[in-house]
Structure 1
Amino acid sequence: MARPFDLEQLNTLILVSEMGSISAAAPRLGRSQSAVSEQVKKLEEMCGLSLFIRSKNGVKLTPAGERLADYGRQLLALSDAAHRDLQGLQLEGDLRLAITDYFRPRTLPSILRRVRDNFPRLRLHVSVRKSALIEHDASDGEFDIGLSMTILDTDAKRREAAQQAILRTEPLSWVAHKSFSLSENGMLPLVVMPDSCSLHQFTVRQLDQDGIRYSVMHTASGIAGLQLALDAGLGVTCLNASAIPEDAQPFTTPALPRLPQVAFTLVPPRNGEAKIVSQVRDLLIEQMR
C-alpha cells in the first residue's frame, strides 16, 4: 500500500515555491531553515524525484514538483473544506475583491486558486485597479475587500499603513533587463505605468528632485505589459520586489535616488460589513501574508 502524503510537507512544498526560497518560507512556516530543508528532502525521497531546481537566486519547481504542488493544493483545500464543513463554517455567496496590479503578480493566481479550492461555494469576483482608486472608492460599495499598495516615503504614510492590516512590506528597486545598457547621451529611458499610477508619480518626482535627465519611453497599461517592456530592454523602471521579472537586475548607473519600502494593506472594513466578508477577509490575510 502506498504511503500517504504528509499535508505539512505538501504545505511546505507549496509555500517554498511561492516564496522562491527556503529562507523566505521558513519564518512563514514557523520553522528553522534546516527543518524546512529536511521536510523538502523527505518529500523528495518519498517521491524518488527532485522537486526543486536550486540556484544561487533561490528555488523553483521542477515539472514533477509543479504536478505535486497542484495535487497538494487540492488535498490541502479538501482537508480545510472538510474541517469547515464539520464545524458548520462553509462559506457561500458572492464576494468582490479589488486588488493592486503590483501585489505578487507571479503567485497571485495560485493564491486565488487556493481560495477558490478552499471555498467552492464562494463566487469570487476579482478586479485589478490602481491603489489610489481602491482607497478612494473604498466606501462606495463597488467592492467588498480592497488590497492596495502604499509607498512608505513619509512618516505620515508609515503611520497610516500601520493602522491597517499589512499583508507584507517589500523594498522598491531600480531595475532593467540584464541585457540593457544606457545610451551614450546619458538620458535615462523609463518604462512606467500610466501617470495616474502612484508609483509612476513617485518615480518621476524622485528623478526630478535629484536632477536626473529621463524620458518616458514606454507606458504600459498593466504590470504584465510593463514586465514585457522590461524584457524587451526598452528601459529602466522602479518596482517592488515581488513584481520584478526573473531576467531583470538592479540598475544603479547613474546614481539613482534611494528608494523606500512599500506596504500592501487591506483597506479598513466598512461599518456593518457582512459576516461572510469578514470571514473571507481573515482567510485572505492568512493566505496572502
Structure 2
Amino acid sequence: MHPLDIDQLRTLVAIAESGSFTRAAETVHKTQSAVSMQMKRLEERIGREIFAKSGRGVRLTDDGERLLDYARRIVRLQTECLATFDEGDLAGRVRLGLPDDYVDRYLPEILGRFARTHPRAEVTVICEPTDMLAERIADGDIDLAIVTEAKGSTKEKGRRTIETIRTEALLWVTSSRHAVHTEQPVPLALGRPACNWRRVAIEALERGGRQSRILFVSWNSTAVGAAVLAGLAVSVLPESALRPGMRVLGPQEGFAALPACRIGLMRHRSDEPNPLADILAGQIRQCLDNLGLAAE
C-alpha cells in the first residue's frame, strides 16, 4: 500500500473550500493543469472517482466526500505537528477571557489545539461577562477575550476594538416540557442590567406589546439555563448555547426574531510582543470562524 500524498490531499481540501479548481490553484500556488493532474493521480491511488460532472462544473462524489473528511483531518494533524516543532518550544503564560456561554461549546477545542501545539505554555482562563472582560483588556489583566454583542442593542459601541469572528442567531428559548411562555406577563431569566441581550430582549417584547417581568437575574448561563429548563422562565441564548430540553420560540408564539449575535475577539494593546497571544488568537479564529460559510 503506497501512502497517500499529503500535497494532493491539501489540494483536495482547497478545491472543496474554494469551490473550483481555478481558485484552488491560486490557493496552493499551482497551475490549474497541475491541480487537475494531482486529482487524477489521487483518484488512481484510491481507485475511485472523486469528482463528477455537475453542469459546467464538478462536484464531489460520495467517495470524494468520504475522502475529504479524512483529508481535512490528515492536513490539520500535519499542520499541528509541524507547529509543535516550529513553535512548541515557546514557554510562558497567556491569559484568555470569555463569557461562560461559550465555555462548553468552544473552549475544549481551543484549549486542546493550543495544548497540542504549545505543550510548554500555560493558559489562564477567566469566565466573566463581556463588559467586565473589556475592562480587563483595557487594564492589561488579560491578553485576549472572546466577547459577545447583539446587533441592534442601544448600548454605545466602539469603546474597544472588536474583531468579529463569528455570527449566530440569538434565540428565544423556553422549556420543551412547559408552557411558561404563554403566561402574562412573560417571566424572564436574563443577565444583569448591563447585558446587551437583556436590553435587546426587553425592547423586542415592548415593540410587540408583550408585558414581561424579570424573575431571575444572573451573569452565569448555567443558572439562567436551569431556570429555563425548570419551566420557570423564558430567556434568550445564542444558537451554540442551546441545551437538550430547550425549545426555540418564534413569531408564531408571539416572540419576534432577535438581531444576530456577533462573537468577537479583543486584544490587549501593548508595545511588548506576545507571540503566545498571537498564536492563540489565530487558533481561536480558526475554531470559531463561520463568516466564510455565512458569505456563501
Structures share fold, TM-score greater than 0.5: yes
Gaps of 5+ in 2: 21-58, 290-296
The DSSP-based 3-state class of the residue aligned with 1:102 is helix
Distance in 1 (CA, whole Å) between partners of 2:259 and 2:137 is 25
Distance in 2 (CA, whole Å) between partners of 1:191 and 1:27 is 46
Shift of the alpha carbon at 1:98?
0.8
More helix by share: 2
Q: For residues 48-72 of structure 1, what are the alpha-carbon distances to aligned partners after superposition, in whole Å with 9 as ceiling and x for unaligned? A: xxxxxxxxxxxxxxxxxxxxxxxx7
Spell out structure 1 runs of 4+ moving beyond 4 A. 26-32, 34-44, 154-158
The number of equivalent residue pairs is: 247
Shift of the alpha carbon at 1:186?
2.5
Shift of the alpha carbon at 1:270?
0.2
The alpha-carbon distance between structure 1 residues 38 and 272, as it changes in their structure 2 partners (threshold 3 A), is: farther
Shift of the alpha carbon at 1:27?
11
Shift of the alpha carbon at 1:284?
2.2
1:67 — aligned with what?
Answer: none
The DSSP-based 3-state class of the residue aligned with 2:82 is helix
The alpha-carbon distance between structure 1 residues 123 and 164, as it changes in their structure 2 partners (threshold 3 A), is: same
The answer as to whether partners of 1:104 and 1:242 remain within 8 angstroms in 2 is no
Distance in 2 (CA, whole Å) between partners of 1:152 and 1:287 is 22
Shift of the alpha carbon at 1:118?
2.5
The answer as to whether partners of 1:236 and 1:251 remain within 8 angstroms in 2 is no
The DSSP-based 3-state class of the residue aligned with 1:281 is helix
Aligned counterpart in structure 2 of residue 190 of structure 1, from 185, 188, 191: 188
* Pairing 1:238–2:241 present: no
Q: Point out the structure with max Rg over C-alpha.
A: 2
Distance in 2 (CA, whole Å) between partners of 1:249 and 1:232 is 12
The alpha-carbon distance between structure 1 residues 175 and 37, as it changes in their structure 2 partners (threshold 3 A), is: farther
Matches within 5 A, 1:73-84: 79-84=78-83
Shift of the alpha carbon at 1:143?
0.1
1:138 — aligned with what?
Answer: 137
The answer as to whether partners of 1:111 and 1:288 remain within 8 angstroms in 2 is no
Of residues 187-196 and 34-43 in structure 1, the stretch that sits farther from structure 2 once superposed is: 34-43
Aligned AA (1:283): Q
Shift of the alpha carbon at 1:140?
0.3
Matches within 5 A, 1:76-225: 79-87=78-86, 90-103=89-102, 105-153=104-152, 164-182=162-180, 186-225=184-223
Gaps of 5+ in 1: 10-25, 47-71
The DSSP-based 3-state class of the residue aligned with 1:115 is helix
Distance in 2 (CA, whole Å) between partners of 1:108 and 1:88 is 21
Distance in 2 (CA, whole Å) between partners of 1:223 and 1:28 is 37
Distance in 2 (CA, whole Å) between partners of 1:233 and 1:140 is 40
Shift of the alpha carbon at 1:153?
0.6
The DSSP-based 3-state class of the residue aligned with 2:139 is coil
Structural RMSD (CA):
4.1
Distance in 2 (CA, whole Å) between partners of 1:208 and 1:172 is 17
Distance in 2 (CA, whole Å) between partners of 1:219 and 1:81 is 42
Distance in 2 (CA, whole Å) between partners of 1:92 and 1:112 is 15
The alpha-carbon distance between structure 1 residues 248 and 27, as it changes in their structure 2 partners (threshold 3 A), is: farther
Distance in 2 (CA, whole Å) between partners of 1:196 and 1:27 is 45
Aligned AA (2:240): S
TM-score (norm 1): 0.67
The alpha-carbon distance between structure 1 residues 288 and 157, as it changes in their structure 2 partners (threshold 3 A), is: farther
TM-score (norm 2): 0.66
1:271 — aligned with what?
Answer: 270
Distance in 2 (CA, whole Å) between partners of 1:149 and 1:244 is 16
The DSSP-based 3-state class of the residue aligned with 1:138 is helix
